[in-house]
Structure 1
Amino acid sequence: MYYLIKYGYDGKKFCGFQRNNGENSVENTIINVLKSHNISDNMESAARTDKYVSAAGNVFLIESKIDIIKILKILNSQIKDMYFYQYAGLSEYFNPRYCTLKKYSYVLDGDYDIEKFMVMLRKFEGTHDFRNFSRKDYRNTVRTIKNIDYYQHNGFFIINFYARSFIWHQIRAIMGFAMRYYEMDLDPFAFKINSVFLASPERLILMDIFYENITFSDFNSSYLDGKITKKLTDINVNRVIYSRILYKFQ
């Protein structure tokens, strides 16, 4: 049986996301538990977040003969600062990277004219070559951002980005540019950039990943609720992560 598992984590508590980035990486931490309890030898991730970036709704795929509820109980009891809260059972293999949409949120505070800020950000909507707003690797830098919106929550501006895929450092580079130049009336794709300014990773959160024709079921556990609720005492970025998982965040 294949399982898609949706989970959240506090990125500041780990040395990075990808396996072999260190024993305390997000992937290594999960894989070590999966192997030690004979659940699975591997996992496939839907999204790889930057170092210190958090998630409220990342997804990974495993193949296992063990009951999914038992798996979720083990993961939640063995891994601190991660929260495994939804699942979908699949009869055949599915690449979790083939999603229909990803949603990221950047938690912004400070003395910003938010309407001017959003005028700048909306210039990044649509299909563009983001080579000047990403860390270059082998991947195509042309991406389509479907929408950028915002609302206020607990004194923060929550800036939401929606796209099927993002390039490395793309959102942090966009936010860094907007934080510097939002008061200027300019075209970011015609503006000569000498160096990319990356906004802080600690304020970026992968909020959710959406799939066509796949429905996730909730893992109802008083233990999990209690584990998350303890984190809600922090009036900061963590509140956005944990309250999203408890379905109290819009």
Structure 2
Amino acid sequence: MRIALRVAYIGTDYHGFQIQPDVETIEGELFRALVELNIITNPHDANYAAAGRTDRGVHALGQVIAFDTENPEITRPGAINSRLPRSIWTWARAHVPSDFDPRRDALMREYRYIMYGEYDISSLMSASKLLEGIHDFSNFTTPDKERTSICRIEKIEIKMEREFIIMDIRANYFLWHMVRKIATAMRMVGCGERDLSWLERMLNPAQFSEGLRPSAAYGLILKNVEYRGITWDEDAYAKRTIKGYLDEQFLWHGVMAKMIMELKGRMAV
């Protein structure tokens, strides 16, 4: 039987999603847990696949993996989470067709990027409209010879929450570093360093080229991957456990943020 799982994680302490030798990765931890529980014997024999990769330090709420197993009754998220580090969780599962591929069968992907600072919200919203639609995003990606740089951004939504700018971006697929480089471009437009005519030129790489550095990985989260005809069974116990851990993390980081502000204030000159 083929099973799909929704996976969430805080990527800060990992060298990205994809398994690599001699370093800790999200995928490596998932493989270890699945093998320990006798859900799979190895990824190759289980026809394992994932919806995509995230870079070092990037987080996820809606990553999706799939594999074949002879023990589907053990694939409950709560059981799998008991063998995972506290910063990685499975929280929903689905029985899927034998040929289901979480990468190729994805209809849409959605990321969120969170930026701190004061920006002109009107300029950001105008910039988001320019980026929507089908474009050649060569100026917004790290080159990958295996993939075309032309893709369709379905929608970009910009909103302001206190001192943060939240950018939600949906597309049929994303290129390497694409969201983080778009975040860099948005920041440059939002602070007045570049204007909308520059952004229009960036969307015409045959005539204009400029390198962009990706924005920091810690601000990016893979929110969701959408599929047709898949019914997800969410694990209520797993979600309560995850929320409890995140409440702890929110309290700790909130206090630390205030502590850093106190220290910073004393260093003002």
Please give the alpha-carbon distance, in whole angstroms, between the structure 2 residues aligned to 1:70 and 1:214.
Answer: 17
Match of 1:186 in 2: 197
1:51 Cα deviation after fit: 1.5
Q: CA RMSD in A?
A: 2.0
- What CA deviation, in whole Å up to 9, does each residue of 1:145-198 have, x standing for no partner? 000002344642221001110011111111111212343231424244432221
What secondary structure, in the 3-state scheme, does the structure 2 residue paired with 1:12 have?
Answer: coil
Moved more, 5-14 or 186-195: 186-195
Do residues 214 (structure 1) and 230 (structure 2) align?
yes
Do residues 148 (structure 1) and 166 (structure 2) align?
no
2:111 to 81, 104, 126: 104
Do residues 229 (structure 1) and 252 (structure 2) align?
no
1:164 to 152, 162, 172: 172
- What CA deviation, in whole Å up to 9, does each residue of 1:175-234 have, x standing for no partner? 111212343231424244432221111101001111111111111214444334333324
Taking structure 1 as the reference length, the TM-score comes to 0.86
What secondary structure, in the 3-state scheme, does the structure 2 residue paired with 1:79 have?
Answer: coil
1:117 to 101, 120, 124: 124
**Amino acid in the other structure paired with 1:28:** G
**Amino acid in the other structure paired with 1:204:** L
Do residues 202 (structure 1) and 218 (structure 2) align?
yes
Structure 1 vs Structure 2: percent identity of aligned residues?
A: 25
Please give the alpha-carbon distance, in whole angstroms, between the structure 1 residues aligned to 2:16 and 2:114.
Answer: 20
Match of 1:16 in 2: 16
Given the superposition, is the C-alpha separation of residues 70 and 141 from structure 1 closer, same or farther in structure 2, using an over 3 Å criterion?
closer
Moved more, 180-189 or 207-216: 180-189
CA contact (8 A) 2:2 2:95 kept: yes
Given the superposition, is the C-alpha separation of residues 227 and 67 from structure 1 closer, same or farther in structure 2, using an over 3 Å criterion?
farther
1:53 Cα deviation after fit: 0.9
Please give the alpha-carbon distance, in whole angstroms, between the structure 2 residues aligned to 1:129 and 1:204.
Answer: 22
**Consecutive unaligned residues in structure 1, runs of 5 or more:** 237-250
Match of 2:67 in 1: 62
Please give the alpha-carbon distance, in whole angstroms, between the structure 1 residues aligned to 2:132 and 2:244.
Answer: 39
Given the superposition, is the C-alpha separation of residues 231 and 68 from structure 1 closer, same or farther in structure 2, using an over 3 Å criterion?
farther
Please give the alpha-carbon distance, in whole angstroms, between the structure 1 residues aligned to 2:64 and 2:37.
Answer: 20
What secondary structure, in the 3-state scheme, does the structure 1 residue paired with 2:124 have?
Answer: helix
Match of 1:127 in 2: 134
Please give the alpha-carbon distance, in whole angstroms, between the structure 1 residues aligned to 2:64 and 2:20.
Answer: 19
**Amino acid in the other structure paired with 1:56:** L
Please give the alpha-carbon distance, in whole angstroms, between the structure 2 residues aligned to 1:2 and 1:83.
Answer: 19
Please give the alpha-carbon distance, in whole angstroms, between the structure 2 residues aligned to 1:21 and 1:160.
Answer: 33
CA contact (8 A) 1:126 1:146 kept: yes
Q: Give matches, 1:43-82, under 5 Å.
A: 43-68=48-73, 70-80=75-85, 81-82=87-88
Given the superposition, is the C-alpha separation of residues 215 and 13 from structure 1 closer, same or farther in structure 2, using an over 3 Å criterion?
same
Please give the alpha-carbon distance, in whole angstroms, between the structure 2 residues aligned to 1:21 and 1:109.
Answer: 34
Larger-gyration structure (1/2)? 2
What secondary structure, in the 3-state scheme, does the structure 2 residue paired with 1:29 have?
Answer: helix
CA contact (8 A) 1:15 1:21 kept: no
1:125 Cα deviation after fit: 0.6
How many residues align? The count is 236
Match of 1:28 in 2: 28
Please give the alpha-carbon distance, in whole angstroms, between the structure 2 residues aligned to 1:21 and 1:47.
Answer: 19
CA contact (8 A) 1:145 1:163 kept: yes
Please give the alpha-carbon distance, in whole angstroms, between the structure 2 residues aligned to 1:167 and 1:104.
Answer: 12
**Amino acid in the other structure paired with 1:59:** V
**Amino acid in the other structure paired with 1:101:** M
Moved more, 114-123 or 54-63: 114-123
Given the superposition, is the C-alpha separation of residues 185 and 73 from structure 1 closer, same or farther in structure 2, using an over 3 Å criterion?
closer
What secondary structure, in the 3-state scheme, does the structure 2 residue paired with 1:231 have?
Answer: helix
- What CA deviation, in whole Å up to 9, does each residue of 1:227-248 have, x standing for no partner? 3433332449xxxxxxxxxxxx
